[in-house]
Structure 1
């Protein structure tokens, strides 16, 4: 069975955030760079439910893991 492919904007929708390109860019600019010492799901700007979604996506190697990794990388850039 093939895993579904999720788009970056869909992750933002799952997180309850605006998902258009401008809003995503503004979110990343506002919160980057995330220090290497802080796990993505531990960042202070997530609600508990958002943090849980991100943590579970990575721990369970869910079909969301790739796009969550993309978000992590985007937030690490200065």
Structure 2
């Protein structure tokens, strides 16, 4: 089974957020660093629908899980490309 690769632009579109590279970088800068004790889907900056999407995709180990993991790393303070 082939996995589909999703980038940050697609994830941000799924989350209903501006998904151009400058907006993604700004989002990460604004919300970083995310405390290591907070799960990404439990961060206070998500609305209910966004948090649910993240949780469901991670729990289901879907095609989205890899890019959500990359966003998680980026929000913890690591530098990650917006693609």
Fold agreement, TM-score > 0.5: yes
- Are residue 77 (structure 1) and residue 77 (structure 2) matched? yes
1:1-78 alignment to 2 at 5 Å? 1-77=1-77
Moved over 4 A (4+): none
2:81 alignment partner in structure 1 = none
Give the TM-score taking structure 2 as reference length.
0.90
Q: How many equivalent pairs are there? A: 78
Unpaired segments ≥5 residues, structure 1:
none
CA drift of 1:2 comes to 1.1
Question: Structure 2: where are the runs of 5+ without partners?
Answer: 79-83
Of Structure 1 and Structure 2, which has the larger fraction of its residues in helix?
Answer: 1
1:26 & 1:76 partners in 2: Cα distance?
14
